[in-house]
Structure 1
Amino acid sequence: MPEWSVAEPRTFALDDPVTSLKVRVVNGTVNVVGVAEGPARLEVSEVVGPPLIVTQRGSTLTVSYEDLPWKGFLKWFDRKGRDRSAVVSLAVPAGASVEVGVVGAEAVVSGIRGRTEVRGVTGDTTLVGLAGPVRAETVSGNVEAQSVAGELRYSSVSGDLTVVDGTGTSVRADSVTGDMVIDLDPADRGTDIRLTTVSGEIAIRLPHPTDARVEANTTSGAVSSAFDDLRVDGQWGSKSIKGTLGSGTGTLKATTVSGSIALLRRPESEPESASEPASGKVL
């Protein structure tokens, strides 16, 4: 089993096949990109503190520290982490599965067709052009997903979730205080969207036409809808948006206690910014 201790900048070209990648870094940056052909490549351009341990067991490549396990990763708040950081870039086959764990580090994962799982304590994560299933868990880091086609699962305490030009049909997310902005244009008009937050704001933009049974509820926030087929109810206290869009083959459920909920409609021509206001019924 090849193993390397990396205490200074170094580049690796890995001739053995890589079908699974596992990376855990404290502070700094992790960049992972999927490539169509060629061997996996690893570049460690900066290491501060203890060395990174690089191992390849079979077709699994691991880049981490000796004292940073994947299990219980989100509870890792060791003070020694303040004295370490690393900048790591990897190119792996696009079909590989990827696990990335970051404490205080930024992570970017792009072009992966296999399963992607990201866990972060702090530090933002960007996911671009992922075709396989995606799972993201954070404590306070934000997650931005661009052009993600696979099903997306997200869980956070206070991080925000932003989905831009999503082509997948399934998004399930929950948070305590984080906001959620979901912009979808799935190839299949049916959707499965289920969002839950306590005090975060929720904004969802869907194509028109779309097919979904809609049920959105807030206890004390405001609601608005750009779809005439949906009913906005509630004058004081609890408010809701309910109804059926198209044939109703999909599902859209959104729940928040004190946050607001907005359902926006994608124009049929050129897409507009998800942050632009939409006209419609407001309560």
Structure 2
Amino acid sequence: MEIKDKDLIYHYGSNIALFQYIFQDASDVIFRPFQIDGRKACLIFIDGLINSKDIQYHVLHELLFHRPDEFITMEQFEEKLVSVTQVEDLESIQDITNKILEGNTVLIIDGKNRALVIDAKEFEKRGISEPESEAAIRGPREGFIENLRVNTSMIRRKIRSEDLNVISKSAGEKSKTSMAVIYLEDVVDKDVLKEFNSRLDRIKIDGILETGYIEELIEDNPWSLFPQVQITERPDTVAANLLEGKIALVVDGTPFVMIQPQLKLVLFRHRW
């Protein structure tokens, strides 16, 4: 079914049937129907990717025990009834589907042609520890992990500057892997940044599972004797390179962060 240009309609049953069709072979996608004073509603989420306590106490509890005169619009749902940090409303079926696949919870309400997207994600992740591949005698004993936001937060702890830009991107036609391009606005070479972003945007591949996929797709000469990118697990190494005007690429699902350019003349000598 083509859903790219479709939006939600005001009919609850049709909206739910559409998402049930989209996720018909996904047994881990949960549909949790309930009623709000006789009005049909449903939460849609992926089991194992959400914080069930947040959904139970900050979403379901608020929705099930409100007074009937407390809401009329989706904005009032968002402002009064859902006490979580990040909430947005969407109407595009494709956008809502992508949000569910990212680990968000979606609320569909009868008579509404928009859905509330609730950020209550919770992934299993290992604790921060010293990277075995880059042990240091002196310096911090922390290393990146597989969670994108944990990794970007460790970089922000090192560089507490308003000039530190963290730009979200995604890659992979199927995997839709989240990435973050990080640089210092006042010291980065704008031409290098433009070329780097251009190369990222031109990547066409089904899945990005590790930083090495990106490395192979953007470098000029795979057989060069000179390293064209630097890979590290250490936040302090990334911070030091950012202060020198370099660019970091953090990829969700891997503790290895890419630093560009390692050798500017080698990497960006040839334009695509």
TM range (shorter): under 0.3
Q: Which one has a larger percent helix, Structure 1 or Structure 2?
A: 2
The structure having more radius of gyration, on CA atoms, is 2
Bigger RCO of structures 1 and 2 (CA < 8 A, at least 6 apart): 2
Relative to the length of structure 2, the TM-score reads 0.25
Instruction: State the TM-score, normalizing by the size of structure 1.
Output: 0.24
